[in-house]
């Protein structure tokens, strides 16, 4: 599942390949944009907002446009040189191809692919909370939004992009482990909500600019995380086997995978009744 740092890194890759370039062709493979042709438009900016990628386009005499895509769990953008083999994903997962004289950007399995006037961007991302990697980051506002729903579990609160934009399952699990919080603790019972929010932001920001995500400080394979992805392996602190649970097995498969939780039952004990 892409986290905020992954989307930020993706935006930088697309930025290096396309920004300042005039599109020489476009190929949309989604029904609502199938006839759209962006030839002649210039890529002005590649930006991220939480898990959303915003590609801003300009052309003389036209209102600026934004190509919006949501990566969700399995979306990705890859860039190639003209003539280079596209090796990112199977061809049937391609949703859009953008060409310039010096590069090709291919969007695989993108969700909510939408083209809107840039002035209407807020209709797509305006509901999001402060972006952990954005200029608008405000821990106080993120804390306020989370605290407004005291009966929600802290795990769900961190994943709710309306509270703060950019936390996925990895940073949720690692933040809660480092704070010693049982994932299903009510927001109202979290001892220091601001500290939890600030830690989540520091963890995400610490991996900005690289693809290997670590919360332990080690980049060595198998040593990057405390609990995430380590079901039944010994806790790095106490040796208790790490547990994994799916939030609600009655949900659709994609939603179940979107709520997988890892935790150490000893380091993150359930609060006493």
Which residues belong to the active site?
2-3, 51, 259
Cα–Cα dist 260/37, whole Å = 40
For residue 39, CA distances in Å to 31, 83, 86 come to 19, 19, 21
Pairing of strands 42-49, 25-28: unpaired
Other Cβ atoms less than 10 A from the Cβ of 188: the count is 12
Name residue 80's beta-bridge partners: 104
Local structure of 60: helix, strand or coil: coil
Provide the angle, in degrees to the nearest 10, between the axes of the packed helices 193-206 and 4-18: 40
> Which has the closest alpha carbon to 156: 260, 273, 29, 251?
260
Best CA proximity match to 71, nearest among 91, 90, 48, 44: 48
Contacts of 30 (CB under 8 A, 6+ apart): 95, 96, 113
Q: 70 has which bridge partners?
A: 52, 111
What does the alpha-carbon distance between residue 202 and residue 93 come to, in Å, rounded to a whole number?
33
Dump strand ranges (E) for the chain: 25-28, 42-49, 52-58, 65-70, 76-80, 94-99, 104-108, 111-117, 243-246, 260-263
- Give the chain's length: 273
């Amino acid at each position: 599942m892409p986290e905020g740092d992954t989307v930020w890194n993706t935006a930088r890759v697309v930025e290096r390949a396309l920004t300042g370039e005039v599109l020489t062709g476009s190929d949309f493979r989604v029904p609502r944009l199938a006839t759209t042709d962006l030839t002649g438009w210039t890529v002005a900016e590649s930006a991220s907002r939480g898990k959303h990628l915003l590609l801003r386009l300009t052309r003389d005499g036209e209102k600026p446009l934004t190509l919006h895509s949501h990566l969700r769990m399995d979306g990705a953008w890859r860039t190639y040189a003209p003539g280079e083999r596209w090796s990112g994903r199977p061809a049937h997962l391609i949703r859009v191809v953008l060409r310039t004289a010096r590069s090709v950007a291919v969007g695989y399995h993108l969700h909510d692919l939408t083209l809107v006037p840039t002035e209407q961007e807020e209709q797509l991302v305006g509901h999001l909370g402060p972006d952990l990697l954005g200029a608008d980051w405000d821990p106080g506002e993120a804390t306020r939004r989370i605290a407004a729903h005291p009966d929600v579990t802290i795990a769900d609160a961190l994943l709710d992009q309306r509270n703060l934009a950019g936390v996925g399952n990895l940073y949720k699990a690692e933040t809660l482990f480092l704070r010693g919080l049982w994932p299903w603790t009510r927001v109202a019972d979290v001892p220091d909500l601001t500290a939890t929010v600030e830690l989540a932001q520091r963890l995400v920001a610490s991996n900005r600019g690289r693809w290997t995500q670590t919360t332990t400080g080690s980049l060595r394979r198998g040593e990057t995380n405390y609990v995430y992805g380590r079901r039944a392996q010994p806790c790095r602190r106490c040796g208790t086997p790490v547990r994994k649970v799916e939030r609600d097995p009655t949900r659709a498969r994609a939603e179940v995978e979107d709520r997988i939780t890892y935790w150490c039952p000893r380091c993150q004990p359930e609060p006493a009744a």
